[in-house]
Amino acid sequence: MVIPVEEVPSLCDLEQACRASAPGKASGLDAIPSELCKLCPQAVALHLYSLMLKTCAHGQEAIAHKGGILLPIWKGKLLKDQCSAFRSILLSSCLGKVMHKAVRTKQLDLYQQFLHCQQLGGRKGVPVTLGGHQVRAFQRLCAQNGKPSALLFVDLQEAFYRVLRPLVVDGPIDDASIAAMAARIGLDKGFMHDLHCALQQPSALEEAGIPCHLRGAIRALHTDTYFKLPTQGDDSSYICLPPTP
* Together in a domain, 236 and 185: no
Residues 20-47 have a mean pLDDT of 91
Res 178: pLDDT: 73
* Together in a domain, 90 and 169: no
Mean pLDDT over the full length of the chain: 81
CA pair distance 88, 69, nearest whole angstrom: 10
Three-state secondary-structure class, residue 170: coil
Residue 234 lies in a domain: yes
- pTM value is 0.72
Question: Which one, of 48, 171, 22, lies nearest residue 100 by Cα?
Answer: 48
Res 164: pLDDT: 65
* Together in a domain, 162 and 101: no
* Together in a domain, 20 and 80: yes
Residue 126 lies in a domain: no
Is the distance from CB of 225 to CB of 169 less than 8 angstroms?
Answer: no
The domain tally of the chain equals 2
Residue 149 lies in a domain: no
245 pLDDT exceeds 50? no
* Together in a domain, 43 and 81: yes
Distance of alpha carbon 57 from the chain centroid: 20
How far are the Cα atoms of 35, 208, 211, 239 from residue 166, in angstroms, in the given order?
35, 14, 16, 20
Residue 128 lies in a domain: no
Domain that holds residue 35: 5-107+210-240
Residue 202 pLDDT grade (very low, low, confident, very high; cuts 50, 70, 90): confident
List Cβ<8 Å contacts ≥24 apart for 124-127: none
Q: What is the pLDDT of residues 123-157, one digit of tens each?
A: 777 887 888 898 999 999 999 999 999 988 876 66
107 pLDDT exceeds 50? yes
User: In which element (H, E) is residue 104 found?
Assistant: helix 94-106
Res 48: pLDDT: 93
Res 244: pLDDT: 41
* Together in a domain, 233 and 219: yes
Q: Where are the beta strands (DSSP E) in the chain?
A: 67-74, 86-92, 226-228, 239-240
Residue 15 lies in a domain: yes
Least confident segment among 34-38, 223-227, 229-233:
229-233
* Together in a domain, 99 and 54: yes
Q: What is the pLDDT of residues 155-170, one digit of tens each?
A: 666 555 556 677 777 7
Q: What is the pLDDT of residues 210-228, one digit of tens each?
A: 888 888 888 888 888 888 8
Assign residue 28 a region: left if phi > 0, alpha if psi is -120 to 50, beta otherwise? Answer: beta
Question: Which one, of 227, 221, 223, lies nearest residue 100 by Cα?
Answer: 221
Three-state secondary-structure class, residue 227: strand
Residues 178-200 have a mean pLDDT of 75
Residue 233 pLDDT grade (very low, low, confident, very high; cuts 50, 70, 90): low
